Amino acid sequence: MGMGVGIFGTGYAGLVTAVGLAEVGHTVTAIDKDPDIVARLSDGTPTIHEPGLQELLTANLEAGKLRFSTRAEDAMSASKIIFLCVGTPPRADGQADLSQVEEVSRTIGQQLDGYKLIVEKSTVPARTAYWIDTTIRRLAGPEHEFDVASNPEFLREGSAVRDFLRPDRIVIGADTDRARSLLLDLYEPNFDCPIVSTSVTTAELIKQTANSFLATKISFINMVSDLCEELGVDVATVARGIGLDPRIGSHFLNAGLGFGGSCLPKDLSALIRVAEGNGVDVGMLREVERINTARVDRLLAKLERALWVLRNKVIALFGVAFKPDTDDIRGAPSLGVVPRLHGAGACLRVYDPAATRKLERLYPPDDRLTYVDSAFEAVRDAHALVILTDWEEFRSLDLGRVGSLMRTPIVVDGRNLFEPAQMQAAGFEYYSLGRGEATFRTEPKRVHV
């Protein structure tokens, strides 16, 4: 049976949760404090780029199972279960900034009237639930009943709707029977996957350790990738050779520019701070961070070796988003690459199928920084092409046309999108990561002056 659900925060996690819970039959009231976001969503216009989101948003708005509002009381009056999906960005010292979580907790505390189950879906450090509970209790007074539970979200941007509707597992962290049974009622009838039922603190820790483990896998293969370059070995073959072992698994073993986005870097650094705050040595995780930070340096060193002088060189950049099929640029390599190449005096032509507008707001165009609408426009007369995101569109480009448009057909590929032999045959000087035997330096087909 459908339940009334309130959601605070309609970013990537909150909007997909809202649409997904409405789709499986619940009645959802989603709150965001940004009136523009609420107006657009109420109008049926997605505020983020996610495959499948538009269809579900329209259908559930029309069915009356989903509504958006800026007024917290709309969610409080219509829902027994309230999800916190606000942002928990990193602070300068690496800890999670929990001010948005506190703000919503205060709002709930002021408006509590009858039992509510408050559920952390935002990724938060262990023991955040204690502070949510304390904040609400101080404002609401002892007569009001409520529980605080944790239900971390594991969706991946780019396939968020599918991940939400068909998850690998659902983790429910609850310290009372009432909270646990409400969350089971919400999920069990509609989702066919293992449900891991734990304490609140365990659930909080599961999410941060999951992301830190994924980050560790990526930094591990990137470390191996550097060794492959020295030994004349292809890291993709090593990754395949180890990944077929089910104890290792083949996912998250793609060498390249490392991990980015709004979750892995922040959750890793937040876990490090939690562990160190509890006196636990997590030097291994610090090394995972260090390896990741060095990936962009390595790519830019290759570019500089290929071009010698960067000043006044025209460089096409493919990929602004931190990964394909999203417009999210948080933690993306483009954020490091664009200012550094611009600062070195290069002329940049930036193309991404979905995310250029977001970068444009941070780095407005000027006479040496242009945002263009197609891949071919970006590479016209370029001295080099640098690939930062593995969009499928880049993989399937007409390479002959790309090479013929460039001033010098040099490609520095941070995502190992192409086979080195294929690029050599197409006349490119091709640099990728972790393919020791496979970096070809050929005579350019033609050079315009």
When asked if residue 153 is in the footprint of ligand NAD (CB under 6 A), the reply is yes
Please tell me the number of Cα atoms within 13 Å of 338 on its side-chain side: 27
Min CB(67)–ligand NAD separation in Å: 14
Q: How far is the CB of 83 from ligand NAD (least distance, A)?
A: 10
- CB 119 to ligand NAD: min, Å: 12
Q: How far is the CB of 299 from ligand NAD (least distance, A)?
A: 24
54 vs 442, beta carbon nearer ligand NAD: 54
Number of residues that bind ligand NAD (CB under 6 A): 26
219 binds ligand NAD (CB under 6 A): no
CB 150 within 8 A of CB 175: no
Asked if 234 interacts with ligand NAD (CB under 6 A), we say no
Q: In whole angstroms, how close is the CB of 164 to ligand NAD at the nearest point? A: 10
Q: Which one, of 50, 43, 39, 65, lies nearest residue 15 by Cα?
A: 50
Q: Which is nearer to ligand NAD, 10 or 225 (CB)?
A: 10
Residue 87 near ligand NAD by CB under 6 A: yes
Measuring CA to CA, which residue among 113, 132, 110, 116 is closest to residue 5?
Answer: 116
Select from 5, 118, 239, 263 the one that contacts ligand NAD (CB under 6 A): 263
251: tokens are 């996912």
Return the residue of 6, 8, 182, 434 that touches ligand NAD, per CB under 6 A. 8
| Closest separation in Å from C-beta 408 to ligand NAD | 38
- Reported residue count of the chain is 449
Name the residue nearer to ligand NAD (CB basis): 349 or 358.
358
Applying CB under 6 A, which of residues 18, 19, 149, 155 lies at the interface with ligand NAD?
155
User: What is the C-alpha to C-alpha distance for residues 225 and 255, in angstroms, rounded to an integer?
Assistant: 6
Q: Is 262 in the site for ligand NAD (CB under 6 A)?
A: yes
Give the torsion sign (CA, 5, 104, 204, 97). Answer: positive
CA separation for the pair 175, 149 (Å, rounded): 7
Bridge partners, residue 413, by sequence: 387
Q: Is 327 in the site for ligand NAD (CB under 6 A)?
A: no
Q: What distance, in Å, lies between the first and last C-alpha atoms of the chain?
A: 70
Binding mask 27-46 for ligand NAD (x = CB under 6 A): ----xxxx--x---------
Alpha carbon distances (Å) from 70 to 87, 106, 242: 16, 16, 50
Contact between 85 and ligand NAD (CB under 6 A)?
yes
Asked if residue 355 binds ligand NAD (CB under 6 A), the reply is: no
- Kindly tell me which of 260 and 414 has the beta carbon lying closer to ligand NAD: 260
| Given 85, 193, 228, 263, the catalytic residue | 263
Beta carbons of 298 and 433 less than 8 angstroms apart: yes
DSSP 8-state secondary structure symbol assigned to residue 447: -
Give the chain's largest Cα–Cα span.
Answer: 80
Return the SS3 of 8.
Answer: strand
**What is the sign, positive or negative, of the torsion defined by CA atoms of 372, 379, 418, 293?**
negative
Of 9-17, 363-371, 380-388, 389-397, the window that binds ligand NAD (rule: CB under 6 A) is 9-17
Task: Say whether residue 164 binds ligand NAD (CB under 6 A).
Answer: no
Query: Closer to ligand NAD at the Cβ: 234 or 327?
Result: 327
Measured from the CB atom, is 33 or 273 closer to ligand NAD?
Answer: 33
By CB under 6 A, tell whether 14 contacts ligand NAD. Answer: yes
Please give the residue whose beta carbon sits closest to ligand NAD in the complex.
11
Q: Which of 216, 117, 201, 210 has the alpha carbon at shortest distance from 169?
A: 210
Residue type at position 319? G
Q: How far is CA 229 from CA 234, 302, 437, in A?
A: 8, 12, 7
Shortest Å distance, C-beta 442 to ligand NAD: 40
Q: Name the nearest CA neighbour of 129 among 112, 117, 113.
A: 117
Letters for 98-137 (x = contact with ligand NAD by CB under 6 A, - = none) are: --x--xx-----------------xx--------------
Nearest to 412 by CA among 377, 384, 370: 384
347 is catalytic: no
Residues 130, 132, 135, 139: is their CA dihedral positive or negative? negative
Task: Please give the structure tokens belonging to residue 396.
Answer: 């399937």
- Contact residues toward ligand NAD (CB under 6 A) are 8-14, 31-34, 37, 85-88, 100, 103-104, 122-123, 153, 155, 157, 262-263
Catalytic positions: 263
